[in-house]
Amino acid sequence: MAFTLPDLPYAKDALAPHISSETLDFHHGKHHNAYVNNLNGLVEGTDMASKSLEDIIQDTAGKADKAGIFNNAAQIWNHTFYWQSMRPNGGGAPTGKLAEMIDRDFGSFDAFKDAFAKAGATQFGSGWAWLVLADGKLDVRKTLNAETPLTEAGVTPLLTMDVWEHAYYLDYQNRRPDYISTFLDHLVNWEFAAENLAAA
């Protein structure tokens, strides 16, 4: 198999009570795993089987005849990034250069939180909210379905929040705003975002 399901960076019960082990069983073990299996089936026997996820995403973005490959590859990448965007005892506020840039580009940390929460809450249907570095400035984006800022020139994803219903429905049912506020207050991994900023 060209691609394998990456392990979670923490135990399945490590994000409880904010995200349950049952949610991670389904979300990581079933949904994420299905994207891996689907992509392997789609690229088997082709030159894409030896390419990186990032290259496959770039090569297939916006091509209708490659939509199945793009959707599964991008969802593998997005989910792997999402798991790392959270940590046990996460939340709070960032420090250092990331904190300074948030204050500079959003006006305040609270203004960033409002913008990020709004992006997640107003993403109609399935998708993602992102903190990105774009042309030297921080910005909040939202993407539909499997879309990812990876396909935008000059844009580096720093952090993401999954707002597909399977990310939160077992724990929050229809209360997406509660999931979003919990993500920001208790789950977000600012160290991961800072590492991505430093590497950009």
- Identify the structural domains of the chain with CATH numbers, from first to last: 21-84 (1.10.287.990), 96-199 (3.55.40.20)
Annotated binding site: 27, 79, 162, 166
pLDDT value for 176: 96
**CA-angle at 108, arms to 105 and 111, nearest 5°:** 90
pLDDT value for 135: 94
- How much is the average pLDDT of 185-190? 98
- How much is the average pLDDT of 159-164? 98
Pick from 30, 81, 85, 83: nearest CA to 54: 81
Kindly state the tokens that stand for 86: 């959270």
pLDDT value for 134: 97
Give yes or no for residue 1 having a pLDDT over 80: no
Annotated binding site for Mn(2+): 27, 79, 162, 166
Over residues 73-98, the pLDDT tens digits come to 999 999 999 999 999 999 999 999 99
- How much is the average pLDDT of 100-109? 98
Q: How confident is the model at residue 118 (pLDDT cuts 50, 70, 90)?
A: very high
Kindly state the tokens that stand for 186: 């208790």
pLDDT value for 107: 98
